[in-house]
Structure formats: structure tokens, C-alpha cells
Amino acid sequence: MPMTERDKRAVIILGALVGAALVFFLVTQVLLGGDEEPVAAPAPAPATEPSDTVPAPEPTESPTEVKTPPTVTNFSGRDPFSTPPELITPTASASGLTSPVTEATTEPQPADENAPTNGATTNVTGKSVTLNAVYLRSGDPKVSVEVEEKAYTKSVGEVFAENYRVSSIDLASNCATFVYGDESFELCADAAS
């Protein structure tokens, strides 16, 4: 007996369903790890006869949670946006205690009232170097010097503007000697009038 159109359509649909089921089986069982054996339920414990002694309970370990401390980032040095310590001067408060003033000043505040405020300028290797002041702060001679309009407050032996070094400071003459490489030069600040 020949197949009718209706029978042919039924065989095609049935074949498509069997093919889809086969693909589903292969994907879930073979490709996704369906080859694991099922875990059997544990067998019931055999009945034991009661005894006169009570067994000691087995120690159980309780899981302890190990907490790791949070990571703390430690920054060293000072805040680049805060006022430099050498520009903070203590002021007396009503209670008699001193507290630092936090407003920034453009020039150092000399401890010596006779410190000069007008400076001398020279040109060293194409850069303008100005000595603004020579003064005494906390017993330490200091200079206020600018290189290309950038101010520095330094003591003897300190390096500034990468390659300049304070060689000596003479408070009596309001002068300081500086070294740049092998070149030595002296600047004197004018006395305040």
C-alpha cells in the first residue's frame, strides 16, 4: 500500500521529534557531564543492642570563619595641598595656648625682626635666582630663595630646584653662597627699610 501525503507528513514530524529528542539527550548527557553515576542513598544504620556504657560523643569541628582584615593603603609623606610646616606660625589664643595658623603665606615669616625682605637676583645657566631673605628660625640660619619664580626655604647643605645647593649663610652680612654644579655664586639680600 502506498503512503499518502498525510502519512508522509506524520513520518517527517515524528522523525523531527525523535531527532530533537536525540540531540537534547546528547547535549545534556554527553556534553554537559551527564556521565556521572547517581549517588545512592546511604543504607540505614544497623540496630545495636543497648549497652551499659554510654559512648563519648565524637568531637566535631565547627567551621570557623577566617576574616581577612581590609586592605589599608598607607600614604607616607605630607599632603601636597596642605600648608608647608615652615609657613605655619603659632598664634596665642584666648586660653593662653598656642595653635598653628593654617593660612599660607608667600614669604617665610622670619623669627628675626631685622631680617631683610628685598632680594638680589642673578642669572645662573639661563635661570633667574633671587635671594629674598636671610634669617634665623629656631636657631637655624635659613634662606628664602627663588629659582624661576619658585620659592624655597633652605638651610646650609640643602639642595633645591634639583641642582642648586646652599653652601653657606652669613646672617651678619645678609648674604648666602650657593653652588650650581662646579659654579659657586653669592647673593646678598638688601636690608628692609
Question: 64-79, pLDDT tens digit by residue?
Answer: 676 776 666 655 566 6
DSSP H/E element including 10 = helix 5-25
Rounded mean pLDDT of 138-152?
A: 90
First to last CA, the chain: 131
pLDDT in tens, 1-22: 788 999 999 999 999 999 999 8
Kindly list the domain boundaries of the chain, sorted by start residue: 1-34, 120-188
Confidence (pTM)? 0.39
Class of CATH domain 120-188: mainly beta
How many Cα atoms within 13 Å fall on the side-chain side of residue 28? 6
pLDDT in tens, 85-108: 666 666 554 545 444 443 333 344
Residues whose CB falls within 8 Å of the CB of residue 136, separated by 6 or more in sequence, listed in order:
110, 111, 112, 115, 142, 171
